Structure 1
Amino acid sequence: MASYVVMEPPERNPEQAVLVRDGFAILAFIAPFLWFLWHRMWLEALAAVAAALLLGAFGALEGWSVAATVASLCLSLFFGLEARNLRVSMLKRRGWHEWGVVDADNRDEAETRFMAELVFADDEARQETPSPALTDRPAPAKGFGRGSEPALGLFSYPGAR
C-alpha cells in the first residue's frame, strides 16, 4: 500500500488538490531534468543541470573520472529518492497547504478516500453546529469532569480555574 501526500491549493479548493505519491521516482532517477520540467519545478531543474555540468567538468579532469561517475550515480539516486519530497516542498513554496496523508493501493483509490474523508468531515461539522434553541443555554462549567472537582487525584487550588 502506498502513501499519498494531499496538497490543497491556496484557495483551499479540494477539487484541485494534488496527490503526490511517496516513494522512489524511477524517471527522476533516469532523467531528473525532464522529470523536474514535467512537474514545472524550474529551480530544481536548473539545479539538476548545474550539478550535472559540474560533475561532467569534474570527470573531465585526469584521474577523476571514476569519482565523477560515482558522484553522478549518487546524485541520480538522491533525485530518485527525494524527487517527490522536492515536489511537495515546491508546492508549499507556491502557497499550497498540506492536507494530510492518504494510504491506498493506487491513485484512484487515494482520490476516493480523500473525497470520502472530506464528506465525512463535512457531515461531522454540520452535526456539531448548535441549533438556535441550544444557544440560549448557559455555557458549561470550566474545568475537568464535573464542575471544579480535581481529575485523576490531582489537587485543586482554591480560586484557580
Structure 2
Amino acid sequence: MASFVVMEAPEGGDEAAYIRDGFHFFAFLLPPIWLAWHRLWIEALVAFAVMAVLGSLGSVSGLSEAAPLLSLLVSLYVGLEAPALRIAALRRRGWREWGVVDAYNRDDAETKHLFGDSVEQAEETRVPAPMPEPQPLAPRAGPSGPALGLFSYPGAR
C-alpha cells in the first residue's frame, strides 16, 4: 500500500492532485526529462546544469571514473525527492495540502479522498470516547530537595 499526498487546487477550483510518496524510478533514470514532464522547469534546468557540470568536470580534471558516480548521486536525489519537489511546486502555485491517503493506486486514493475511507465507516455512527476525569495527585513521600540528575545532594533537606 502506498501513501498519496492530496493537494487541492487554489480557491475556486475543484480539482486535486494525488502525489504518490516514495521512490520514482523514471525520475531516477531521466531526472531533467521527468522534471520537465511534470512542469518543474526550474528544477529541470538545475538538474541538467548540475549533471552537465559534473560530466564536464570529469573530463577536464581527469576524474573520468568519478563523474558518472556523481551524476548518479544527482539522479538518486531526484528519484528520492521527486514527490517533495512536486509538492513544493504546487504550494508555490497556491495549492494547499489536504492530507495523506493510504491506497493501492491513484484511483483508489481518489475514491478514498472523495468518499472517505470506506462505505462501512461512512455509514457507522461514531460515538466519541468519554473524557477521563482528572485524578488528584498523590502526595509525595519523603523529603524533597534539590537534586542533580538521578541522585539528590547528600545531607540536603
The answer to whether the superposition gives a TM-score over 0.5 is yes
- TM-superposed deviation, 1:35: 0.7
Aligned to 2:128: none
Instruction: State the percentage of identical aligned residues.
Output: 50
Q: Spell out, residue by residue over 1:85-144, the C-alpha distance to the aligned partner (whole angstroms, 9 max, x if none).
A: 1101111111110100000011111000000139x9xx9xxxxxxxxxxxxxxxxxxxxx
Residue 102 of structure 2 is matched in structure 1 by: 103
* Equivalent position SS for 1:65: coil
AA paired with 2:45?
A: L
Q: Look up the match of 1:9.
A: 9
Q: What's 1:90 paired with?
A: 89
Take 1:12 and 1:66, find their aligned partners in 2: how far apart are those partners? Answer: 53
- Report runs of 4+ in structure 1 exceeding 2 Å deviation: 150-154
- Give the corresponding residue for 1:26: 25
CA distance in structure 2 between the aligned counterparts of 1:43 and 1:62, rounded to whole angstroms:
28
Q: In the alignment, what sits opposite 2:59?
A: 60
Q: TM-score scaled to structure 2, two decimals?
A: 0.72
Q: Which segments of 5 or more consecutive residues in structure 1 lack a partner in the other structure?
A: 124-144, 155-161
- Listed one character per residue, the Cα deviations across residues 53-99 of structure 1 (whole Å, up to 9, x for unaligned) are 11111111243111211111111111111111110111111111010
Aligned mates of 1:53, 1:21 — CA distance in 2: 29
Q: CA deviation at 1:151?
A: 4.0
The yes-or-no answer on 1:69 pairing with 2:52 is no
Could you tell me the TM-score, scaled by structure 1's length? 0.71
* Alpha-carbon separation, structure 2, partners of 1:115 and 1:4: 13
More helix by share: 1
